[in-house]
């Protein structure tokens, strides 16, 4: 139960830093990598490149459409199942 508390605090610090400076400091990015693993920073790059779209299905489920390259597309649902479009 300690890891979720650390992750929540880290995300609060990132939000605050971004609101103040429009940037995320390197030490907080390293914290993301430590808490969420090596895929965290490349995932943020996809968000920065506007390659991630948040959608809501008719049933109310939140979906994330990720365009990983020119010819591939993936859908991620809240349970983190990855499906190719």
Q: What is the pLDDT of residues 15-61, one digit of tens each?
A: 999 999 999 899 998 898 888 888 887 878 887 888 888 888 888 88
- Looking at the structure, do residues 30 and 60 belong to the same domain, yes or no? no
Banded model confidence at residue 12, pLDDT cuts 50, 70, 90? very high
In this prediction, residue 15 carries a pLDDT of 92
- Looking at the structure, do residues 59 and 75 belong to the same domain, yes or no? yes
- Looking at the structure, do residues 24 and 57 belong to the same domain, yes or no? no
Buried b (16+ CB within 10 A) or exposed e, 53-69: eeeeeeeeeeebebbee
- Looking at the structure, do residues 42 and 65 belong to the same domain, yes or no? no
User: Range of 12's domain?
Assistant: 1-48
Structure tokens at 4: 């979720």
CB 66 within 8 A of CB 57: no
CB 74 within 8 A of CB 85: yes
- Looking at the structure, do residues 70 and 37 belong to the same domain, yes or no? no
- Looking at the structure, do residues 3 and 35 belong to the same domain, yes or no? yes
Banded model confidence at residue 69, pLDDT cuts 50, 70, 90? low
Q: Within a 13 Å sphere around the CA of 18, how many CA atoms are in the beta-carbon half?
A: 10
The number of domains in the chain is: 2
What is the pTM (predicted TM-score) of this model? 0.57
The Cα 64–Cα 59 span in angstroms is 15
Once rounded to an integer, what is the mean pLDDT over residues 62-75?
69
- Looking at the structure, do residues 36 and 64 belong to the same domain, yes or no? no
């Amino acid at each position: 139960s300690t890891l979720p508390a650390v992750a929540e605090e880290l995300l609060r610090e990132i939000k605050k830093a971004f609101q103040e400076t429009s940037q995320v400091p390197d030490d907080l990015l390293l914290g993301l990598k430590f808490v969420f693993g090596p895929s965290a920073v490349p995932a943020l790059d996809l968000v920065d490149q506007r390659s991630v779209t948040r959608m809501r299905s008719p049933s109310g489920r939140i979906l994330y459409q990720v365009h990983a390259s020119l010819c591939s597309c993936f859908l991620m649902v809240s349970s983190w199942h990855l499906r190719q479009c």
